[in-house]
Amino acid sequence: MDALFKEVDPLRQASRDTVRELGMLQEKFGDFGVSMAQCHSLIELGHRGVLTAGELAEILRLDKSTMSRVVAGLKRAGLIAIRDAARDKRKKPLMLTARGKKKLERIHQHSNRQVQDALALLNEDDRKTVVAGMAMYAKALARSRAQREFEVRRIEERDNPEVAGIIRRVMPEFGADGPGFAIHDPEVDFMSKAYAGKKAGYWVLAKNGTIVGGGGFAGLISGPKDVCELRKMYFLPEVRGAGMGRKLLEHVLVEAKKAGFKRCYLETLATMTRARALYEAAGFEKICEPMGATGHFGCDSWMIRRL
């Protein structure tokens, strides 16, 4: 495993202290007669209006059974009620009662005060750092967790239909379905075979057993021996923005380097803006002319980087 960032230890330390100071190790929330989980549920209901128990469980990262009992407690206390008349009778949409709103108001006052008093000890710059740091940490933790649900693995024969389907779905999305595009390569239906050699490879991105993207490399046809081409890297729209493009790209490049290549070349389209931002962030640089003879004369953008 890689060496840890030097920030890990002090961050964990400070995070533990924060959690303890905020009383998060305690079951109850102050003198409000509600548990920590109940308190968070009230806040979230106040924020979003109507939520089912399942949605709350997802948001608070709690087990649905826990949530069920949390909700039962809040209902017993008259703080929330089920909004009836839902189409799907399995769902029970929850919302705050007037009493619940009042209780929530007092909770907010108390917490606002606690946070306000702490922030009052800092100057404006430090306050900004605290907010920015906490926001970035929360977001990074969430993204990191989301990424854990993905798996990158080498393509297998049984994956071929799914992978072909993704290629044929994504490329037209960017207008890359006319002549001179990779969508017409004969290999599209037999990717596992086409990238089986030692000097090539293709990997799929899977989520819950379903393939949602892929990418690979192979030697650049009619190009210098030490140059490989990044090939057919595509993701379904629903998984874009999760940062998995970067992960898969890194994976492919590491493997390409292992295979002995010194540089990696790629062809893309100016309209694929997010992909090109990714390539640039990964160290690829624009070049003005295509290399080799890929036959993909539909592409209008060429990049290369050292491995």
Selection from a copy of itself, DNA, none that 129 binds (CB < 5 to 8 A by kind) is: a copy of itself
Among the listed residues 65, 112, 222, 273, the single contact to a copy of itself using CB under 8 A:
112
CB of 58 to DNA, least distance (A): 9
Interface residues toward DNA, by CB under 7 A: 25-28, 34-38, 52-55, 62-73, 88-92
CB of 72 to a copy of itself, least distance (A): 17
Selection from DNA, a copy of itself, none that 192 binds (CB < 5 to 8 A by kind) is: none
Residue 17 lies near a copy of itself (rule: CB under 8 A): yes
**Any residues with CB less than 8 A from the CB of 229 and at least 6 apart, and which?**
217, 218, 219, 220, 221, 223, 264, 265, 266, 267, 292, 294
Among the listed residues 77, 82, 130, 278, the single contact to a copy of itself using CB under 8 A:
130
Nearer to a copy of itself, 132 or 293 (CB): 132
Residue count at the site for a copy of itself (CB under 8 A)?
Answer: 69
Residue 20 lies near a copy of itself (rule: CB under 8 A): yes
Residue 287 lies near a copy of itself (rule: CB under 8 A): no
Q: Which residues are near a copy of itself by CB under 8 A? A: 1-2, 4-5, 7-26, 36-37, 40, 43, 59-63, 66, 111-122, 126-145, 147-148, 243
